[in-house]
Amino acid sequence: MSVDGYLEAFRSQGRIVVVGASLAGLRAAEALRDEGFTGTLTMIGDEPHEPYDRPPLSKQVLLGKVPPDHTALPRRRLVDAEWRLGVAATGLDLAAKRVQLSDGDSVEYDRLLITTGVRARPWPRELEAELDGVFVLRTRDDATRLHHRLKAGPRGVLVIGAGFTGSEIASACRERGLSVTVAERGAAPLVGALGGVVGEVAAELQRSHGVDLRCGVQVTGLEGDAAGRVRTAHFSDGAAVEAEVVVVALGATRNTEWLADSGLGAGPRGIACDAGCRAFDVRGIVTDDVFVAGDVARSPHPLFGYQFLSLEHWGNAVAQAEIAAHNMVSASTDRRPHLWMPSFWSAQFGVNIKSVGVPPMADQIIVTQGSLAEHRFTAAYGHQGRIIAAVTFDQAKWLDFYESEIERAAPFPPEFPTVDRRPEGMQPVPAGFPDPSLPSHGPTVTLSGHSPTDRRITFTPRRA
């Protein structure tokens, strides 16, 4: 049988299984149908809910403006799939092309797409994590529980970890009028994602909004009362903070455990795949029928030296899902590479923070427009003499321009004049990223080496 003949048969009668029914899984399913796939489609999701949008959970939902169950994603089209929700995938048999499910059932596929994403990293001490009042925030159910407790007006909230999620939670709490302490192991909030210069702005933003921000400290223990409710947090500097609610915001862990013995190149840093979203196996050989997209994927990006990037970005989940879907039902010469420009946003303390490119690769930063002190600026990041990323605080309209500069590897520091250039923006300064070998949390981009087995650099710790 010719391979072309196989593709035609597969497109009309094949079986595709998507494991992971969130943003990436849903958009991939829609794209598969758009591409003309008419075979059977099975969607497997461990959460009982239909695909919903996560970014509102730490913003509108915690503020009480939107009920947690009003976050279901709009559909772009009908997908005509069999949905198996509330059932986790527990194993993968590559040879038999079969996914094992937590209910004992199994599903066979001709092609498989893995979009299992990440989950919140829990508080590492299990007994303390079980105290009443200790939360994480990743899922809709997490948001329901946390919002319910915040609504009751707890006397003190402690947020452990000042990455984007932790900072947004702190912002929502302050907007609700709650007293908030933020404990951050690094030198400043957002330091892993945006570096020390911008991190200082984020710190100033938090403090000016009444957050009791403590940087350079670790929470060494959580203490409960006789009824098992969390009451006190102990810090590495000897301080103790009273809190009725503790939110653990220590970044995310990739959902790859179910693939442990599968032979797929999956581990704590995600599933390595090629630029076309095809997964690598443990031998570093690309698979024919297993594709990956979204937060759980780790793929080489030509704009960034072919380093493998893991992007916990909403836009990446959508874009990579579309590429994976296209490639799953296309002949090899019709396939496309996933070349999405990393981009993300965060709204906190009334400021719109947006970024393009990969800031953690940078060695230098220059404020090209506006002023750090005014919390309204555009800054460009440089890596070995080229622009590698940019960030804006309430100046999003300039980002498209910087995106094109990154795409053409424009020189750094930038050679063009800019409006609203201030004295502070005349010279680049060190970007102030923490030593990547030190544990941190919160960066939304994870860099790794040039091959799936290369382990020289990692920005993602295994523990908080």
Partner 1 sequence: MRLVVDLNRCQGYAQCAFLAPDVFTMHGDEALMYDPQPDDEQRRNVRRAAEACPVRAITVEYGDGAPAAGTAGASRVG
Torsion of CA 47, 48, 54, 56, to 10 degrees: -150
How far is it, in rounded angstroms, from Cα 14 to Cα 82? 14
The answer to the question of residue 450 lying near partner 1 (CB under 8 A) is no
Tokens of 104: 């004992």
Do 98 and 44 meet the contact criterion of CB atoms below 8 Å apart? Answer: no
The answer to the question of residue 125 lying near partner 1 (CB under 8 A) is no
Do 12 and 38 meet the contact criterion of CB atoms below 8 Å apart? Answer: yes
The answer to the question of residue 27 lying near partner 1 (CB under 8 A) is yes
Tokens of 33: 């149908």
In the complex, the smallest distance separating the C-beta of residue 332 from partner 1, rounded to whole angstroms, is: 19
In the complex, the smallest distance separating the C-beta of residue 232 from partner 1, rounded to whole angstroms, is: 33
Q: Helices 164-175 and 140-151, interaxial angle, to 10°? A: 30
The answer to the question of residue 343 lying near partner 1 (CB under 8 A) is yes
**Nearer to partner 1 (CB atom), residue 23 or residue 43:** 23
In the complex, the smallest distance separating the C-beta of residue 75 from partner 1, rounded to whole angstroms, is: 5
In the complex, the smallest distance separating the C-beta of residue 194 from partner 1, rounded to whole angstroms, is: 16
Taking CB under 8 A as the criterion, which residues in 321-340 touch partner 1? 322-323, 336, 339-340
The answer to the question of residue 354 lying near partner 1 (CB under 8 A) is yes
How far is it, in rounded angstroms, from Cα 143 to Cα 151? 12
| Spatial CA neighbour of 187 closest among 205, 199, 171 | 199
Do 154 and 245 meet the contact criterion of CB atoms below 8 Å apart? Answer: yes
Q: Helices 191-208 and 164-175, interaxial angle, to 10°? A: 10
Q: What is the DSSP string of 364-376?
A: EEEEEEEETTTTE
**Nearer to partner 1 (CB atom), residue 127 or residue 339:** 339
When binding is defined by CB under 8 A, the residue of 258, 314, 433, 459 that contacts partner 1 is 314
Bridge partners of 316? none
How far is it, in rounded angstroms, from Cα 276 to Cα 144? 37
Reduce the DSSP state of residue 72 to 3 states and report it: strand
**Nearer to partner 1 (CB atom), residue 55 or residue 461:** 55
The answer to the question of residue 319 lying near partner 1 (CB under 8 A) is yes
The answer to the question of residue 212 lying near partner 1 (CB under 8 A) is no
Selected range binding partner 1 among 248-256, 266-274, 314-322, 453-461, rule: CB under 8 A: 314-322
When binding is defined by CB under 8 A, the residue of 137, 201, 341, 447 that contacts partner 1 is 341
Reduce the DSSP state of residue 403 to 3 states and report it: helix
In the complex, the smallest distance separating the C-beta of residue 246 from partner 1, rounded to whole angstroms, is: 26
| Spatial CA neighbour of 157 closest among 236, 59, 230 | 230
**Nearer to partner 1 (CB atom), residue 20 or residue 56:** 56
* Number of residues binding to partner 1, judged by CB under 8 A: 46
The answer to the question of residue 374 lying near partner 1 (CB under 8 A) is no
Selected range binding partner 1 among 2-10, 58-66, 95-103, 410-418, rule: CB under 8 A: 58-66
The answer to the question of residue 351 lying near partner 1 (CB under 8 A) is yes
Tokens of 373: 């002190």
Count, residues in the chain: 464
Place of tokens 């070995």: 384
In the complex, the smallest distance separating the C-beta of residue 365 from partner 1, rounded to whole angstroms, is: 21
Selected range binding partner 1 among 89-97, 399-407, 427-435, 449-457, rule: CB under 8 A: 399-407
The answer to the question of residue 373 lying near partner 1 (CB under 8 A) is no
The answer to the question of residue 127 lying near partner 1 (CB under 8 A) is no
Q: What is the DSSP string of 249-311?
A: ---EEES-GGGTTSSBSEETTEEEB-TTSEEEBTTSPEEEEEEE-GGGEEEEEGGGTTEEEEE
**Nearer to partner 1 (CB atom), residue 254 or residue 338:** 338
Round to the nearest angstrom and report the end-to-end CA distance of the chain.
Answer: 53
**Sheet (strand 364-371) strand order:** 343-348, 351-357, 386-393, 376-383, 364-371, 429-430
**Nearer to partner 1 (CB atom), residue 341 or residue 431:** 341
When binding is defined by CB under 8 A, the residue of 47, 53, 93, 424 that contacts partner 1 is 53
The answer to the question of residue 394 lying near partner 1 (CB under 8 A) is yes
The answer to the question of residue 74 lying near partner 1 (CB under 8 A) is yes
In the complex, the smallest distance separating the C-beta of residue 213 from partner 1, rounded to whole angstroms, is: 19
Q: Helices 314-328 and 23-34, interaxial angle, to 10°? A: 40
Taking CB under 8 A as the criterion, which residues in 273-312 touch partner 1? 303
Which residues of the chain form contacts with partner 1 (CB under 8 A)?
27, 53, 55-56, 59-60, 65-66, 70-77, 303, 314-315, 318-319, 322-323, 336, 339-341, 343-345, 347, 349-352, 354, 376, 394-397, 399-400, 403, 406-407
